[in-house]
Structure 1
Amino acid sequence: MAKGPSAWRKMFLPLGIAFFLIAVALAYFAFIVWGGTNVVKDDVFILDEMMSIEDVMDKLSKEGFVKHKKGMLWLAEQKKIKEVFPGYYSIDPSMNNNDVLNVLRQGKFQSNVVSVTVPEGKWRPEDVAVSIAHQLNLDGAAKNQFVSELLGYFSSYKPNPSLSSNCAYTCIAEVDKELPNFFESIIPNTYSFERTATAEDVYGRLLDEQAIWWDSEFRVANLNRLGLSPKDIVIIASIVEKETNYSEEKGDLAMVYINRIASPNESAGYLQADPTSKFAVGELYLRRVTKKETKCDCPFNTYKNKGLPPSPICLPSKETIDAVLNAPSHEFYFFCADPANFNLPRDQHKHILSKSYEEHKVVARAYQLALDEYLRKNP
């Protein structure tokens, strides 16, 4: 006799439920293993000692690396992970539970040594110090303390409105003159530090590396050739750093400044460098320097003060410093940006050098007209 619908239901309903439960279990297993939403923090997970997997899961959860620890702990048990070695483990939200456990199990931990790149071209010491702190994985109060302590080892220049008699914005005055100047004491490079390095450790290392860097045969010979000190070279390099991105002309521009300092008959000893006026008034990214900026009484304004400014205006790259040291001799006393620059990428912007002020005025007028047209089209 044929079976009725109810009989078929009684036969297949349990099977359907069983398959459904198996599917749910498999989906849950897949989510636990490959689900990518549990890891929420991008940072270095630090274990100072061998820890059980249970304690590691607690630590991951408490430090905000994962939202849910139970699923990861269950997976760790299936993978037979019982303990994790001490170390520095790099974890980020692109990882799923299985990825994290593989990193912990395979010992793919980071060294206690971290590479720190001191950034070049920065106008403010604070920006350099903050960058170093970030690379040492410092944040919050620890970062602020590190930055404050590192800057405290150096002399720097800070805004001092009381000196801004006729400046458009502000003026700059040095503090703590007995300390080494920040930008004169650091060579931008990549250095290795322990992750636990203090501001004092970083300060000492940077000074040591700077002394070693200057004690090369090439640099000593060129200092003697030019008759300048390392401080003079770094100051000139800091101006050149902000004058041009075109590496091939950095030495030529540097020699113009050196000529103007050495030959007051031609230039009256004034550098008349636009980057120094921008720095003096605190407007670092002006597209055009006007009399409003060049009349500032600040000691950094080389339109009103003879010779070099009192310190570097930024942290120049070591390549720019070496370009200044290797500056070729010539008899040019003026330069102006090439009017054709507006049709070129920024790293190809060049300058036209002139031997006399009359020659320079012709180029400067052509550039001013080209700049007017550029600003009209790009307000």
Structure 2
Amino acid sequence: MTDPLLPTTPPKPPRRPMTGWAFWRQVAFWVVLALLALVGGVLHRLLYQPNVLANVDGPAYLYIQPGAKQEEVLDSLRQPGLLERPIDFVVLASLRKFGTKDNPTHPGRYTLPAGLGNLELLQLLESGRQDTLAFTLKPFHYLPQLPRQAGRQLFLDTVQLHKLLADSTYLATHFKLDTTTVRTLFIPGTLRLFWPTPAAAFLDSVAARHRRFWTAARRQQADSLKMTPVQVAVLASIVQRETAQPTDEPLIAGVYLNRLRRGQPLQADPTLLWPLHGLGTRKRVLNVDKKVDSPYNTYRHKGLPPGPITTPFPQTLDAVLHPAHHKFVFFCARPDGSGFSDFAETYADHKLNARRYWQHLDSLKIKK
């Protein structure tokens, strides 16, 4: 029995069946909701889902040349191993008119971090925030070798660089050098540069490295030797070609400085090969080479040659600035093949060293 004192819950009215209009309105609601969820998922995938693939060899790079059009950039991004879904990026880039007149491309080298989404990638390219690369300036003997070296690492107008290096007025105005001494401007090492670098900007960066090296202390040291930075570089270029042993460089620099003080010819074999375009291709100097008519022939002309025969490393420049103090005026390669030299104060001692060297070479020929 029901307790008459307890409140009773009225029975729920029977659920009325949904009319036709209400039914279809409910269906439309859920359809719209499903479409919104679908569109939201597509947009999320298109904009934010990671698309740049991880590269086991390190970060991936995208290179955009000056004046590149949309299709050229998209073709680069279609290369295997860059994007997981290239089509998605193409769709977004087209919607934002990337690579058109209204939204042009910006040249440069761009690092593509793994896991980057399409929107972040596109914003990176639209911003023009390109990264720099480590340009390695290697020693070179002849000026035409430089544009080829630069062109292999940078997007650079090598023809324009040739013209600037041959323009005496430009070199004198910007660097106080001429077409012969401009090679002293280049100090081998690493520079941080943009991939597309104009020829003039490239030379400015090289000159900035040169200024950083030639501190007040180094210039003062050059003055104490009664030499200019250009003369130090010229002598260092000879020292660098004479030995591959860093510990011998100050000793050899001391030999040549002693000869300069005494007014003796330098008689440096590498200077004979330079005008013959033999540096890097010939190992031996012949007696006939000593007769070559060139201001670089240090057997016929006293003093330093008019320009360097290669681009010396910073440590070789420092070896000339801080030479070993001794009385040696001769040196000869040791016969043990170590790359070190034997030094002598007199010509008689030098002949003994040279005889041991040549006897060793003769013995090697007999063994062969």
Name 1:164's counterpart in structure 2. none
Q: Which has the larger radius of gyration?
A: 2
Deviates more, 1:226-235 or 1:236-245: 226-235
Name 2:284's counterpart in structure 1. 288
Name 1:274's counterpart in structure 2. 269
Name 1:160's counterpart in structure 2. none
Q: List per-residue Cα deviations over 1:109-161 (Å, max 9, x = no partner).
A: 995353453524210122223222333224xxxx3323323423469xxxxxx
Name 1:15's counterpart in structure 2. none
RMSD: 4.3
Q: List per-residue Cα deviations over 1:222-272 (Å, max 9, x = no partner).
A: 2132222212211110001111111111011011001011114xxxx1111
**Match of residue 132, structure 1, among 150, 169, 173:** 150
**Match of residue 303, structure 2, among 282, 293, 307:** 307
SS in 2 for 1:371: helix
Query: Distance between the aligned counterparts of 1:131 and 1:206, measured in 2?
Result: 14
Aligned residues of 1:122 and 1:314 also touching (Cα < 8 A): yes
Query: Distance between the aligned counterparts of 2:90 and 2:295, measured in 1?
Result: 69
Deviates more, 1:178-187 or 1:104-113: 104-113
**Is 1:119 aligned to residue 137 of structure 2?**
yes
SS in 2 for 1:227: coil
Query: Distance between the aligned counterparts of 2:345 and 2:300, measured in 1?
Result: 22
Name 2:248's counterpart in structure 1. 249
2:273 partner letter: K
SS in 1 for 2:296: coil
- The number of residues matched between the two structures is 296
1:125 partner letter: L
2:358 partner letter: Q
TM-score (norm 1): 0.64
Aligned residues of 1:154 and 1:181 also touching (Cα < 8 A): no
Write out aligned runs for 1:104-253 (5 A).
Answer: 104=121, 107=124, 111-115=129-133, 117=135, 119-138=137-156, 143-153=157-167, 181-217=181-217, 219-253=218-252
Per the alignment, do residues 89 and 102 of structure 1 end up closer, same or farther by CA in structure 2, a change over 3 Å counting?
farther
Query: Distance between the aligned counterparts of 1:111 and 1:329, measured in 2?
Result: 52
Per the alignment, do residues 154 and 275 of structure 1 end up closer, same or farther by CA in structure 2, a change over 3 Å counting?
farther
Aligned residues of 1:272 and 1:303 also touching (Cα < 8 A): yes
Deviates more, 1:127-136 or 1:229-238: 127-136
Aligned residues of 2:239 and 2:252 also touching (Cα < 8 A): yes
Aligned residues of 2:143 and 2:183 also touching (Cα < 8 A): yes
**What is the Cα deviation at residue 205 of structure 1?**
3.5
Query: Distance between the aligned counterparts of 2:222 and 2:340, measured in 1?
Result: 26
Percent identity between the two aligned chains = 24
Name 1:355's counterpart in structure 2. 345
Query: Distance between the aligned counterparts of 2:276 and 2:254, measured in 1?
Result: 26
Aligned residues of 1:185 and 1:207 also touching (Cα < 8 A): yes
SS in 2 for 1:298: coil
**Is 1:44 aligned to residue 63 of structure 2?**
yes
**What is the Cα deviation at residue 76 of structure 1?**
4.8
SS in 1 for 2:303: coil
Q: List per-residue Cα deviations over 1:337-372 (Å, max 9, x = no partner).
A: 11001xx4xxxx101111110000111111122234
Q: List per-residue Cα deviations over 1:313-359 (Å, max 9, x = no partner).
A: 11111111011101121100000011001xx4xxxx10111111000
Q: List per-residue Cα deviations over 1:51-81 (Å, max 9, x = no partner).
A: xxxx95x3346669649xxx95446589999
Per the alignment, do residues 309 and 243 of structure 1 end up closer, same or farther by CA in structure 2, a change over 3 Å counting?
same
Name 1:17's counterpart in structure 2. none
Aligned residues of 1:114 and 1:192 also touching (Cα < 8 A): yes
Task: Specify every segment of 5 or more residues in structure 1 that has no aligned partner in the other structure, as ranges.
Answer: 1-32, 50-54, 93-97, 156-176
Per the alignment, do residues 123 and 375 of structure 1 end up closer, same or farther by CA in structure 2, a change over 3 Å counting?
farther
SS in 2 for 1:335: strand
Query: Distance between the aligned counterparts of 2:65 and 2:120, measured in 1?
Result: 13
Deviates more, 1:244-253 or 1:220-229: 220-229
Query: Distance between the aligned counterparts of 2:294 and 2:72, measured in 1?
Result: 54
**What is the Cα deviation at residue 311 of structure 1?**
0.9
**Is 1:332 aligned to residue 328 of structure 2?**
yes
**Is 1:368 aligned to residue 367 of structure 2?**
no
Aligned residues of 1:116 and 1:132 also touching (Cα < 8 A): no
Per the alignment, do residues 195 and 366 of structure 1 end up closer, same or farther by CA in structure 2, a change over 3 Å counting?
same
2:165 partner letter: L
Task: Specify every segment of 5 or more residues in structure 2 that has no aligned partner in the other structure, as ranges.
Answer: 1-51, 170-176
